[in-house]
Chain A
Amino acid sequence: DTEVTQTPKHLVMGMTNKKSLKCEQHMGHRAMYWYKQKAKKPPELMFVYSYEKLSINESVPSRFSPECPNSSLLNLHLHALQPEDSALYLCASSMLQGGSPLHFGNGTRLTVT
Chain B
Amino acid sequence: GENVEQHPSTLSVQEGDSAVIKCTYSDSASNYFPWYKQELGKGPQLIIDIRSNVGEKKDQRIAVTLNKTAKHFSLHITETQPEDSAVYFCAAGGSNAGGTSYGKLTFGQGTILTVHP
Contacts and interface: CB of A to CB of B under 8 A. Distances in A.
B34 A45 contact: no
Contacts of B42: 2, 106-107
Given A41-B109, A42-B110, A99 B103 contact: no
B32 interface: yes
A45 B114 CA distance: 27
B77 interface: no
A110 to B, nearest CB: 14
Contact of A95 (B36, B98, B107, B109): B98
Interface residues of A, number: 30
Contacts of B34: 101-102
A4 B49 CA distance: 19
Nearest to B87: A40
A91 to B, nearest CB: 8
Contacts of A6: 43
Q: How large is the interface on B (under 10, 10 to 19, 20 to 34, 35 or more residues)?
A: 20 to 34
A111 B38 CA distance: 20
A50 B102 contact: yes
A31 B102 contact: yes
B100 interface: yes
Contacts of A104: 36, 43-45
Interface stretch (B59-67, B68-76, B78-86, B89-97): B89-97
A20 B116 CA distance: 40
Interface of B: 32, 34, 36, 41-46, 49, 51, 89, 95-100, 102-105, 107-110
